[in-house]
A and B are shown apart, each in its own frame.
Chain A
Amino acid sequence: MYGFEAISHHNGWAMAIAGALIVMAGLSVLSFIISQLHRVVELIEGRGKKKLGRIPPEVDTAREAPQAAPLDADELKTRYAPLAEELGGTFKLTHLYEIAGAHDMPHIHLSIRSLRAAGVLVPEADGVFKWQQ
């Protein structure tokens, strides 16, 4: 038995539709629930803090005062030039991203984008970039 006849014989249409709907519904529900997990976490952590009461919370200075994004192109150029030098004449942006991460540079995406906009990072062929002195 072949074709539509075989599909109908094995109840294929119903199975395909039901299967697709079940997996879509299941993952949608999971997606919705995990989108609410952070609220549950906030709730749990909020209660925890209330219980702690008088104990002063530890001040995470790094979080409270995030380092401002050095959006000034000249400053960025000064900071990123040694990294570009380390990577050689041409390099992939992923490598620059990785090395910047290793050096704990703040706002790497934003910085690389600014360097591109300022014409400091010049695209070459095959997705590699050149550091414009």
Chain B
Amino acid sequence: MELLYEFWSNTGYYLVDPRNLVMIVVGCVFVYLAIAKEYEPLLLLPIGFGILVGNIPFFKGFGIGIYEPNSMLHYLYFGVTSGVYPSIVFLGLGAMTDFSSLLAMPRLMLLGAAAQMGIYVTLLGALGFGFMLNEASSIAIIGGADGPTSIFLTAKLAPHLIGPIAIAAYSYMALIPLIQPPIMRLLTTKKERVIHMPEMRPVSRLERLMFPVVGLILCCFLAPASIPLLGPFFFGNIMKESAVVDRLAKTASSAIIDTATIFLGFTVGASTQADVFLTPKSVGIFVLGAVAFSIATASGVLFAKIMNLCLKQKINPLLGAAGVSAVPGSAREVHLVGQKEDPSNYLLMHAMACNSSGVIGSAICAGILWSFNMM
């Protein structure tokens, strides 16, 4: 009988805390959104299931939980805390990205820069809310709408906040179809939304080959702290464009990025143990994350409108919203909003140009913020 009681006292049913149940519900919502609504399923499914795994109550000290040394989850989580997974994801991302549209219309890169303003406004907001500088910087990077970059910077500056920041960043990326369109419509007129973009010039192979080298040198000389992200990113891209290492490029853009995404999502989800995750700070992070994402979208759109004051050939201001680096979600959303107004308006390629410059921009911002924190 005593044996049975001891066994019972070690079960999750006995050890359960109401906060675990809250997190299990959150995990189920993520899984539901991923499967039923298909909101960023590649991210939400691993994270959602990870949340379920991370919130099963267990007897501490057996080396089971993600925060316990020697546990299997702890070893997998090392890839997050060391910043290895984000770098691998960037390698794959580079091998998947076609910069032709950006090379054909380089002025769209400015929209990727403008959309990073959300990061700096949120930095001020987070400091004003009483967060320390390292925490505020990690929260601010959510405005870049780039999950791996957010995780990377947080792992370096405020590892204790990885769970809430990663969940906030990926949640807002998944909720792009709900967050961005109202902001785009609010800040643009119908006349602006139906602006057609010119067809792009063909880009030579040599240009596409030169870009990763030029991009790496310029960006990493400016913010060397972004090397762990931009180094693999441009390396992945030159593998793709060189066409001499097709096998490597294909592996980087499929098996490698997929493996990193699985472990990244799953372990980030599992890191949301209720006792660590459900704190007032997490609530603040979610609020500030939403603000960061909204300001990033708005600043991209407004900057496009400002550019139009000086340009002969107007830019569709919706493209500014794709300046955040949520690839390809925000580009797709810009295209859909443009098509709702005029079904013959094709903005996808132009939006992808802004999107890819947003990826570079947010990685530079991460490097800048990391440098500021080291001073």
Contacts and interface: CB of A to CB of B under 8 A. Distances in A.
Contact of B106 (A31, A93, A94): A31
Nearest to B104: A38
A18 B264 CA distance: 32
A9 B106 CA distance: 39
Interface stretch (A20-28, A52-60, A70-78, A79-87): A20-28
A37 B364 contact: no
Contacts of A116: 344
Given A38-B204, A113-B344, A23 B110 contact: no
Interface in A6-28: 6-7, 10, 12-13, 15-20, 22-24, 26-28
Contact of B116 (A20, A34, A37): A20
A1 B129 CA distance: 8
A10 to B, nearest CB: 5
A12 B123 contact: yes
A19 B119 contact: yes
A28 to B, nearest CB: 6
A97 B339 CA distance: 13
B292 interface: no
B221 to A, nearest CB: 9
A31 B109 contact: yes
Interface stretch (B51-59, B174-182, B187-195, B207-215): B207-215
A50 B111 CA distance: 39
Contacts of B222: 22, 26
B206 A13 contact: no
A3 B128 contact: yes
Chain A binding surface, main DSSP class: helix
A62 interface: no
B368 interface: yes
Interface string B101-125: 0110011011011101101110110
Given A34-B106, A93-B344, A109-B199, A23 B368 contact: yes
Contact of B110 (A7, A19, A31): A31
Interface residues of B, number: 49
Contacts of B372: 15, 18-19
Nearest to A107: B199
A118 B94 CA distance: 43
Interface centre among B124, B127, B203 (most CB of A within 10 A): B127
B103 A37 contact: yes
B219 interface: yes
Contact of A34 (B103, B123, B128, B199): B103
Contacts of B215: 30, 34
A16 B117 CA distance: 9
A26 B107 CA distance: 13
A32 B110 CA distance: 10
A129 B210 contact: no
A115 B148 CA distance: 44
Given A20-B116, A38-B103, 7 more contacts: A10-B132, A12-B123, A19-B368, A23-B365, A30-B215, A41-B210, A116-B344
Interface of B: 102-103, 106-107, 109-110, 112-114, 116-117, 119-121, 123-124, 127-130, 132-133, 136, 199, 203-204, 206-207, 210-211, 214-215, 218-219, 222-223, 339-340, 343-344, 346, 357, 360-361, 364-365, 368-369, 372
